[in-house]
Amino acid sequence: MNIADLRKSYEKAELSETASHADPLQQFDQWLQEAIRGEVPEPNAMTLATVGPDLRPSTRVVLIKGYDERGVVWYTNYQSRKGRELAGNPFAALQFHWVELERVVRIEGVVEKVSEQESDAYFHSRPLDSRIGAWASPQSEVIDSRAVLVANAAKYGAQFLLKPPRPPHWGGYRLKPDTWQFWQGRKSRLHDRLRYAAQPDGSWLRERLAP
């Protein structure tokens, strides 16, 4: 089959200025909750895009762990590629793609680390294996084989038993949005696309973009 012949007609819903929220956070919350209720696979999965010092972009999938008026939060290894790139360039982009709902949300803004208290609280809420894994994996580094990870997990499991502390190189990031985009698939490729841009007074400018 020719991959160029793969097509789909988007006809599930619409997105209008009158039916959408004036605040993008409320619109995001509505769509995320609908994705959860609709049992979309991994509705909390989002693509994170960063840019390195060589100006090459890089993407990976991470899981959202919180959101409010301060921004969108996820947790990771600060020494990973994304951590190093955010240290050099704190601007990033996030994207949610809820295929079954024919919806995409794009978020752009500046990124900062969450407080140590927030990182500690989330870390200690994780399953024990995940807490040990944060110590065992030198994320983004070259390793000889999977045996390295298994050996590291055994070592730190024996060292910390049931109470591993949060590694100093592991914690949370918060992206503070200055731009949101909401995309709803529509028939004949005439999709609905609304952009929210932060204004100096704290309000949001909502505009329709051509698809």
Report d(CA 211, CA 203) in Å as an integer.
Answer: 24
* 192-198 and 57-63 strand pairing: unpaired
Residues 6+ apart with CB under 8 A from 28: 67, 105, 107, 180, 182
**Directed axis angle between helix 128-136 and helix 146-160, to 10°?**
120
Contact yes or no for 118/181 (Cβ under 8 A):
no
Gap between the Cα atoms of 64 and 74, Å rounded: 5
Q: Report the chain's C-alpha Rg in angstroms.
A: 20
What's the rounded Cα separation, in Å, for the pair 115 and 134? 18
- Active site (annotated) includes residue 186: no
Give me the residues paired with residue 48 across strands: 60, 94
Looking at residue 29, the DSSP 8-state letter turns out to be H
Of 56, 189, 193, 206, the catalytic one is 189
Phi/psi for 90 (5° steps) reads -80, 10
Rounded Cα gap, residues 123 and 25, in angstroms: 25
Active site positions, annotated: 189
